[in-house]
Amino acid sequence: MPVTPEQQAEIDAQRSAPTPTLRTVAPGIEAHLYSAIPVLDHGFVRVIDYMGDDAAICQAARVSYGKGTKSVSNDAGLIRYLMRHWHSTPFEMCEVKLHVKLPVFVARQWIRHRTANVNEYSARYSILDREFYIPAPQDLAAQSVVNNQGRGAPLEGEEAARVLEYLKGDAARCYDHYEEMISQDGQQGLARELARMNLPANVYTQWYWKVDLHNLFHFLRLRADAHAQYEIRVYAEALCNVVKDWVPAAYGAFEDYRMGGANLSARGLDCIKRMLAGEEVTQESSGMSKGEWREFQGMLG
């Protein structure tokens, strides 16, 4: 289950007891506070706390840049300027703390984003739940033949059924042995810190993850991208919806310049100028490698 009865009771208690504050409140993210957003089969994302809003970004920028920003007539325009010119520190003035429940193999991808504070559920002290990520049949796919990090055609029929049985059976057997090792019929069992190594990478873990908005945008740019692995992408997409409600102006600029925009190399920009001038540009005349040229053509559609 995404949340335990105890966690749900805690969520209900937190949401039913608002407290007055003098700090800035962002109504969009207030609506998300404490509630669990389901992700995958047993996972979730919840907002535990936050600091700042769109106005905080502008306030920080104006303190930092002084009179240089006074020609910007509104906050949205200033935020777009900051995003367009890759200013980072104003966005670092906003922070969010999340409670995330996710499979271990997703956590190992996620933790590569090291510009955050993390505290994970410890299987040295506690016993992990019997919860495993089992993909939906439509999410099973063969290895891509063109991308070593990607998926190819979906598995179908007997092959898909065989893989699902392996995933379910192996997870159940590993957890059975895990339970047996830590509990030996009243005798002292194997230490939890050792027994945990027998669990598969699709077992669920949980952590608190605190990050500033600048680094969260970097995470979302990579992990909400269509080329990201599905299992981490769905977490990023859930977070996109939260951030959109929290800082709508900043998210709009991020969506425009980072998610929907493109970065050109000097050679790429030169090729576009030549194309606009009517010249027929080929990979051989572009100065790009085959891989660069393929990506350049994909960017141009």
Taking the C-alpha atoms of residue 93 and residue 82, their distance in angstroms, rounded to an integer, is 13
Nearest to 140 by CA among 232, 230, 44: 230
Would you say 281 and 275 are in contact if contact means Cβ atoms under 8 Å apart?
yes
Would you say 257 and 84 are in contact if contact means Cβ atoms under 8 Å apart?
yes
The SS3 assignment for 262 reads: coil
Q: Find tokens 């598969």 and name the residue.
A: 200
HSE-up (13 A, CA, CB side) for residue 179: 7
Q: Find tokens 């509104």 and name the residue.
A: 74
Dihedral sign, Cα of residue 260, residue 263, residue 268, residue 274: positive
Q: How far apart are the first and last CA of the chain?
A: 42
Determine if residue 18 is left, alpha or beta; phi over 0 gives left, psi from -120 to 50 gives alpha, anything else beta. beta
Determine if residue 34 is left, alpha or beta; phi over 0 gives left, psi from -120 to 50 gives alpha, anything else beta. left
Taking the C-alpha atoms of residue 233 and residue 217, their distance in angstroms, rounded to an integer, is 14
Q: Which of 46, 80, 196, 223 is catalytic?
A: 223
Contacting residues for 143 by C-beta, under 8 A, at least 6 apart = 151, 152
Give the Cα-Cα-Cα angle 225, 111, 208 (nearest 5 degrees): 105
Is 84 tagged catalytic? Answer: no
Catalytic residues, which ones? 223
